[in-house]
């Protein structure tokens, strides 16, 4: 990779060792302090020469952007951009890049695994054998995933890969995609049609609480919910209420509203399968995400100097 030592990049991310090293070899890197009281002095001293930001979980809002007048690009080690004020960034001419294509396959794999776990009762089956109940009583039958109508909220990179399930599939989103699948212009309509509802859409102000009481009511007592996107998209209290009233059959969740806090009612419900926000959590994908984040910065600044 090219050396761009005259370009100052703010590292607002904990990164894999190889990515951290490459970033520092290529750019003049400033690390965002973990102590919030130290952020202001850093930006006051260096903000006018920071041209790039490498971000993971840090919050990049309009106020911070105001303190970075030379900023040209934000490169995110993530599929989501919910911590970044993208509208304000674009208004300032700042390019925003993420790694959504890189992690799509592994997140889709996890969505499929969670779907099977919820509908076939794999976790309950595991406990059934471990606790020595096999041979004493019959294990309850599950559902065949291929026979279930699968509704996908957000047919992007992740959702598109779930078509491989082989079930009847439909989707909803802000606009139609060039695919030969039924389209619903409302999540309520999609939920009423679906047996299995999978959340893969991006997080943003318009999707907070998108899966609410009405959506879960439409999904119905035989329906299952899977969320591999962001916890804020599902109204957690509405989900807890639907489970308590047996108004849905079960759920599988990789993400939660207030991570890592998970309500006891979800942790203790045998119909709910839980995982610790690990959709992209493979060695291979995490490294590819780091490589992509650095490459986006390099390509941007090389194009400016060409």
Tell me which residues are annotated as active site: 230, 259, 277
Using only C-alpha atoms, the chain has a radius of gyration, in whole angstroms, of 22
56/29 Cα distance (integer angstroms): 15
Give every strand in the sheet of 27-31, ordered side by side.
27-31, 4-12, 50-55, 73-76, 95-97
Copy the structure tokens of residue 198.
């999978």
Q: Whose CA is closest to 115, among 204, 194, 184, 179?
A: 194
Task: Report DSSP state, residue 17.
Answer: H
- SS3 breakdown of the chain: % helix, strand, coil, rounded to 5? 45, 20, 35
């Amino acid at each position: 990779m090219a050396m761009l030592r005259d370009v100052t990049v703010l590292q607002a991310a904990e990164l894999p060792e190889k990515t951290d090293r490459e970033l520092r070899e290529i750019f003049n890197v400033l690390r965002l302090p973990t102590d919030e009281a130290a952020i202001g002095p850093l930006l006051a001293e260096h903000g006018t020469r920071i041209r790039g930001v490498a971000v993971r979980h840090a919050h990049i809002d309009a106020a911070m952007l105001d303190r970075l007048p030379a900023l040209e690009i934000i490169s995110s080690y993530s599929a989501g951009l919910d911590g970044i004020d993208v509208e304000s960034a674009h208004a300032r001419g700042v390019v925003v890049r993420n790694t959504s294509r890189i992690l799509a396959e592994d997140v889709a794999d996890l969505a499929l695994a969670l779907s099977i776990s919820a509908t076939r009762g794999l976790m309950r089956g595991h406990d059934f054998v471990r606790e020595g109940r096999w041979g004493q009583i019959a294990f309850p039958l599950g559902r065949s995933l291929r026979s279930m109508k699968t509704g996908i909220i957000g047919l992007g990179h992740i959702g598109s890969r779930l078509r491989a399930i082989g079930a009847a599939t439909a989707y909803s989103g802000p606009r139609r995609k060039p695919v030969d699948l039924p389209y619903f212009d409302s999540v309520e309509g999609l939920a009423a049609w679906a047996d299995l509802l999978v959340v893969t859409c991006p997080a943003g102000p318009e999707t907070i609480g998108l899966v609410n009481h009405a959506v879960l009511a439409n999904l119905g007592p035989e329906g299952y919910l899977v969320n591999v996107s962001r916890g804020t998209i599902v109204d957690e209290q509405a989900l807890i209420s639907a489970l308590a009233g047996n108004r849905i059959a079960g759920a599988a969740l990789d993400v939660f509203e207030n991570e890592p806090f998970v309500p006891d009612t979800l942790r203790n419900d045998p119909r709910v399968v839980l995982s610790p926000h690990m959709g992209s959590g493979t060695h291979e994908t995490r490294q590819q995400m780091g490589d992509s984040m650095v490459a986006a910065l390099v390509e941007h600044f090389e194009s400016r100097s060409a």
